[in-house]
Structure 1
C-alpha cells in the first residue's frame, strides 16, 4: 500500500472518570464552609449546564487516569499493546515538568517496544490537535498504530475562592486507538491558534528555583472566552467540512468540547444542526479540558448512539488561544 492511499481510522475508544463525583450541591457546601464563597446548584446549572464533575484523589496523577482510559481503548480495539508504535497524550496538567506524561503512561501500560511518546499542549483543544498529529504520522507511513489520550487533573489548578472558574472544571481521561488503513477514517482536520489572546484563559505561573513564580491558579475572562469560542468553533467546523467536500447537514454527530452548554448550543445552532445530533456530557463531567472530547466520544460509542460508518465532527477550543476540528468517518 502506497503512502498516498494510507488513511487512519479509530478502532477503539475508552474513558475513565475518578470515582469521586462532586455534585453542585456538595461543591456549594465545600465552597461556603471552607472558602467563604456562596453559590448554588441553580446558579451553576443556569450559567453552565453543569450538574456534577469528578475530582481525582490527591495521590492520583493524570497518567493514572490516562492508563485506565487507554486500557479500555486498547481492549475495545482488541490489539496487543506492544503493537502500538506511537503514544500522544494531550494534557495541561502533566505529572511532572518532565518527563512527558506520555512516557510515564508508556511505562504504566508496560509497552516496552521503545515506541515514540510525547505530550501535546493545546489546553482544551489538545485532543483534536493530538488526533490530527497522529493522523498525519500514520498517513506518512512512519507509524502504524497510535494511542491518543486526553487526560487532565484540572481540579489542581482551581482557585476555590473564585466561583466563576472553580465550578466549571473536573478531572478525567479519554483515549482512542488509531491505525493506518486503506479505508478512510479521519477525513480532514483544521487547527488554529492566536497568541494575542494569551491572557484570556491561562495559568500564568512557572517554576523557578523550586518555587512558583506568578500564579498557579487558572485565570479566565469568561465573557471574552464565550464570544471567541462561539465564533471560532463555527468557522473551524466549516473549514474541516470544506476540506473534506462535505456539508454540515451530512453530520450524524457533533462532539464539541464540553465547556459550557450555551457555547455548545450556539455552535450547534450556527451549523444548522438539530440539538439531538450533539453529544452532551458536560452536565455530568464539567469541563475536563483535553479529556472532554474523547470522554464524550467514548460515552456515545458505548451507549450505542455512535455507529460504524457515521460522520462525526470533533472540535475543541482552549487557552492559547487554540481551536481545531476533525471530521471523521467512524
Structure 2
C-alpha cells in the first residue's frame, strides 16, 4: 500500500492587487514615525527583495471557508471520488473566516465543519477538524492524513490550506504588501499505485522563536490599541529559515533513500523570493552539488504569500501545466517544504 495525492484543486481569487495600489498608503515605522522615503522607493525595494509584483485578494462576499470549499470541489472532481467516501477533512488556516472590512476571526464552527457542510456530505463518520500550524499547515495536514491511513483509521482524506490574509494586515506596515488570499486542496488516499509519500520531517522551535510572527498593534499609533494585525520580525524569520529549513529538507531526503540528483522539483512555501532562493542554495550546498535548472517553481511574483495555500496551489498549477517551464512526469520525485509561525518547519519527499 502506498499513500498518494490522487486529486488536486486550487482557488486563486480574481481580484488582482498590483504594487501600484500601494502608492497612496501611509507607511510608518513600528514606533509610528514617518518613513523617510517616498512610497515609490519603498515599493521598488520591496519588490526587489520579495519578488512580488502583484497579489490576489478574495471578493468581499467570500470568506476563507468559501475559498477552501471551491478548492475542495476541484480536488474531489480531479480525483473522481464520491465525497461521501472521505474519512477526514483537515483544514489548515491561521485566522479562520474574517469578513471583509472587519478584523474579528470567526472559527465557530471550524472551517472544516463549514466546508463539509458546503460539500453537503451526510456521512457522520467523515471527521472534520482544523489545524493551526502557521504556513506549514497544509504539509502538516498531509502528514497527519498519512498517519491516519497508516494506522488503519482512514482510507481517504481531504486536506485543504485556505487563507484570507488581506483582511488581517496593517495598511501602515510595509509587510502588508506580502500577504494575499487563496486556497489549495488535495485528496490523500491509500492506493496500489507506485510512489507516494516516501518520508517526512517536522519540527517546532518555540524556546526563543515562538513570537517571530504574532498579532500586534498597527504602526499607526492613533488607531485603536485593541485591534490587532499580523506582524512579523522579517530578519529573524529569514535567518531562522536559512538555518533550519535546508537541514529539515536534507534529513527528510536522506530518510527517503532518494539521491539528491533524482529530485525533479522542490515546492517551497512562497514566503519571499530571495529567502526561497537562499534556502535552495543552502540545501544544495549541504550535498556539495550544483542546483539544477528549473528545480524550484515560483508563484509569489503574481500570487503573493497566501500562507497555507501557497504549496498546494503551486503544486496544482505545475501538475496541470499552468506554470511556464514547469511540469511533472509520473515517477518524478519532489520535495514539499515550509516554514512559518510557531516557529514550525516541515518537509515531505514525494514520488509523483
> Which residue, out of 336, 342, 348, partners 1:314?
336
1:24–1:275 distance in 2 versus 1, CA, 3 Å:
farther
The structure where helix makes up a greater share of residues is 1
Structure 2 matches for 1:47-58, cutoff 5 A? 47-58=49-60
Aligned-pair CA distance for 1:275? 4.7
Corresponding residue for residue 180 of structure 2 = 170
Q: Is 1:124–2:135 an aligned residue pair? A: yes
> Which residue, out of 303, 312, 329, partners 1:285?
303
Contact (CA 8 Å) 2:88, 2:154: kept in 1 or not? yes
Unpaired stretches in structure 2, ≥5 consecutive residues: 28-33, 98-105, 218-223, 285-290
Distance of 1:135 and 1:219 partners within structure 2: 32
Aligned-pair CA distance for 1:59? 2.5
Corresponding residue for residue 208 of structure 1 = none
Corresponding residue for residue 29 of structure 1 = 23
2:136 partner SS: helix
2:39 partner SS: coil
* Deviations 1:23-46 (CA, angstroms, capped at 9, x unpaired): 1112x235259xx98533522210
1:30–1:302 distance in 2 versus 1, CA, 3 Å:
farther
1:13 partner SS: strand
1:104–1:55 distance in 2 versus 1, CA, 3 Å:
same
1:69 partner SS: helix
Runs of 4+ in 1 over 6 A off after TM superposition: none
Unpaired stretches in structure 1, ≥5 consecutive residues: 1-5, 206-211
> Which residue, out of 247, 250, 267, partners 2:259?
247
Q: TM-score, normalised by structure 2?
A: 0.85
1:275–1:90 distance in 2 versus 1, CA, 3 Å:
farther
Corresponding residue for residue 153 of structure 1 = 164
Structure 2 matches for 1:1-330, cutoff 5 A? 6-26=1-21, 28-31=22-25, 38-40=38-40, 41-95=43-97, 96-114=106-124, 115-163=126-174, 165-183=175-193, 184-196=195-207, 197-203=209-215, 216-272=228-284, 273-303=291-321, 305-330=327-352
Distance of 1:275 and 1:56 partners within structure 2: 33
Aligned-pair CA distance for 1:145? 0.8
Number of residue pairs matched? 316
Aligned-pair CA distance for 1:204? 5.2
